Chain A
């Protein structure tokens, strides 16, 4: 026995198993994120949804009424994962080999992190540099206050000496990520998604 839900895909109603629904919405979300920067993002999604709707209709024509997780998996295989859709690397997918190049890391630089700060962003920047939680560094700095205050001076010096990460490429080299188009794109997408999420949360709160 399985719990089912009712969904509307491109104006057609389907009964769908709960696990199948989760899989499908994760897939659509993945596509949405992949094409987030595209002008026609919504159009691409609606086209894909309408195709999924057709595929499900073929599958539920006979006795069977419910869309199962196998149906969803087949539909996804038919339509393709986002990377296959963009045709970036059907290569690695087709041959099953791992030709994907290792991510290259650029030399890291110490910056003050304006997105992760309480005072000057020094701890946030140190955290990014050493890849540890900035909160931990903050606690250490606070502790030194009770042990003579050396940390305070160090903090002030760092605040003066270390530049603030102003540009996108500053932020990428702060995290040791290579400054290339795809990383910049990733970073923008992350920002946009954050903004979107915040807006959605806001409108939910209002409603």
Chain B
């Protein structure tokens, strides 16, 4: 059993959950998400977010639109789809049940 590996797996799953949650509040482009997730200490290296975003988009949970930027390269703004919203509410329920159960078990 490798603790670090388990942590990494957990973080990855939780990252997807958090990305959906953030995008359900408002649309954002990758660097904004990176900043928020880094501040919350959920992201170890920035690159992680790109395969996740691409996967969520290919699964139909996210869509995107391009926007020109005056200060840099064009930005890809991600939006949550209806499917993504449904998925998120499922995840939220699961998460609440999980934290509840884990708290009960670990704190006795």
Contacts and interface: CB of A to CB of B under 8 A. Distances in A.
A106 interface: no
Contacts of A51: 30-31, 34, 46-47, 50
A94 B45 CA distance: 11
B51 A35 contact: yes
Contacts, number: 99
Main secondary structure of the interface of B (DSSP, over half): helix
Contact of A89 (B5, B31, B57): B5
Contact of B74 (A10, A80, A82): A10
Interface stretch (B8-16, B20-28, B80-88): B8-16
A79 B4 contact: no
A9 interface: yes
Interface stretch (A38-46, A129-137, A153-161): A38-46
Given A54-B31, A85-B45, A94 B51 contact: no
Interface of A: 9-12, 31, 35, 38-40, 43-44, 47-48, 50-51, 53-54, 57, 78-82, 84-92, 94-95, 99
Interface of B: 2-5, 7-9, 11-12, 30-31, 34, 44-51, 53-55, 57-58, 71-76
